[in-house]
């Protein structure tokens, strides 16, 4: 068992920043009261929740009352989709809603949409190009009179491509201005991978709903948020205590909320590190290309998260590469951590036109604030002999 792991899977999760942990600790011990209690101790916790809501709202260029805390991005995504569609259907019982999304969304988007399709909701799955990019014009062309929701991810969790959300938002605004539309089109983006690197101002993006998660930005797991623009129809997923205006019941995770807001607060301060992260990523791609033949680098190399490097090693299974690197103390991924137990090839890579036999050979390397050149050099050293050995064993390369 290696004593020290070189962690290169930051898109799966990030370590909790020490400053975030310090901000959280008092709410596990001294200030542990329920934020819904009206006694003095409860009011201290409630104040921490509301201050955190203000911090996140400011980051989003939104109003505090538009920010709702959730258990994470999966809940936020499900709530945005199911909550909006339920609300518009309740308003007009005879209305059959239409939703536009893309083929490369996270399963937290695709699974609830599949469920809605079983209930009669129409869904259009837009294609992407070979770089994993959605064309804003394709969104506009897919709009129907009954389109109620568009949900497009901001940055892809596997190949790192950044989508033209602001352009899509403007096209949706133009469509909503048409006087003949009976139902407004609402726009949601899954921004889980975006906050550390992309502008998340909701007015600039033109979104009505936006999902976030703390553990992708050096905050704790189990806490996220959904931004909901005022006036957006939304029904609850959870019923119970009536917290957060009755829209999201459940005891406030005060320590998690405080940690989330501290992580958001630190994003601006840590933004200067993004250039060095990109330099390290580019160094890795360059060295791997020189040392290993018959590889592909996937995703757009410009419209891309600076932390993401995604490779396909032809003739090799990605899971085998991952396991052999793990034995060397190097932690990487074959794609989304949420679907790592699946033996199916990545739906993202298939949507990009990559054949299944090649998609199985994918490896995602994602770096972060603590990544060093020494760690990347270790990967660059260990990877070529592993690929050579696996190709010699593989019938796919013979």
Residues 6+ apart with CB under 8 A from 179: none
Q: Three-class SS of residue 89?
A: helix
Residues 6+ apart with CB under 8 A from 208: 186, 187, 188, 228, 229, 232
Q: Three-class SS of residue 308?
A: strand
Q: Is 240 exposed, middle or buried (0-12, 13-18, 19+ CB in 10 A)?
A: exposed
CB 176 within 8 A of CB 197: no
Measured CA to CA, the distance from residue 348 to residue 133 in angstroms comes to 11
Mind telling me the catalytic residues?
338
Nearest one of 222, 149, 219 to 190, comparing CA atoms: 149
Distances (CA, A) of 3 to 103, 323, 367, 370: 40, 16, 20, 17
Structure tokens at 80: 């945005």
Measured CA to CA, the distance from residue 45 to residue 42 in angstroms comes to 5
CA torsion angle 100 105 111 116 (round to 10): 0
Annotate 150-191 with three-state secondary structure: EECCCECCCCCEECCHHHHHHHHHHHHCCCCCCCCCEEEEEC
Query: Helices 373-393 and 273-291: crossing angle, nearest 10°?
Result: 30
């Amino acid at each position: 068992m290696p004593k020290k792991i070189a962690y290169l899977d930051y898109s799966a999760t990030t370590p909790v920043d020490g400053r975030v942990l310090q901000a959280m600790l008092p709410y596990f011990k001294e200030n542990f009261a329920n934020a819904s209690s009206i006694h003095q101790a409860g009011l201290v916790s409630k104040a921490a929740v509301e201050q955190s809501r203000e911090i996140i709202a400011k980051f989003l260029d939104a109003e505090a009352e538009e920010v709702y805390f959730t258990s994470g991005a999966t809940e936020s995504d499900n709530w945005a989709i199911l909550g909006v569609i339920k609300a518009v259907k309740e308003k007009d019982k005879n209305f059959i809603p239409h939703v536009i999304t893309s083929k490369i969304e996270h399963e937290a988007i695709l699974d609830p949409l599949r469920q809605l399709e079983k209930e009669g909701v129409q869904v259009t799955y837009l294609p992407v190009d070979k770089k994993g990019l959605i064309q804003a014009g394709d969104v506009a062309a897919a709009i129907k009179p009954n389109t109620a929701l568009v949900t497009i991810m901001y940055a892809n969790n596997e190949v790192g491509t950044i989508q033209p959300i602001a352009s899509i938002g403007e096209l949706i605004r133009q469509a909503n201005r048409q006087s003949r539309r009976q139902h407004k089109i609402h726009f949601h983006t899954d921004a889980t991978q975006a906050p550390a690197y992309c502008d998340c101002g909701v007015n600039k993006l033109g979104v009505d709903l936006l999902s976030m998660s703390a553990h992708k930005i050096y905050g704790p797991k189990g806490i996220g948020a959904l931004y909901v623009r005022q006036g957006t129809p939304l029904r609850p997923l959870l019923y119970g205590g009536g917290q957060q205006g009755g829209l999201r019941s459940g005891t406030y995770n005060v320590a998690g909320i405080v940690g989330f807001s501290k992580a958001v607060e630190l994003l601006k301060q840590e933004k200067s590190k993004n250039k060095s992260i990109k330099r390290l990523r580019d160094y890795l791609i360059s060295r791997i290309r020189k040392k290993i033949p018959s590889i592909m680098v996937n995703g757009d190399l410009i419209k891309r998260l600076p932390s993401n490097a995604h490779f396909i090693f032809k003739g090799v299974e990605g899971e085998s590469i991952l396991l052999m690197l793990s034995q060397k103390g190097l932690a990487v991924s074959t794609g989304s951590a949420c679907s790592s137990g699946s033996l199916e090839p990545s739906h993202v890579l298939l949507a990009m036109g990559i054949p299944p036999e090649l998609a199985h050979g994918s490896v995602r390397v994602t770096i972060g604030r603590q990544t060093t050149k020494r760690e990347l050099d270790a990967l660059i050293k260990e990877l070529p002999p592993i690929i050579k050995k696996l190709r010699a064993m593989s019938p796919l390369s013979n």
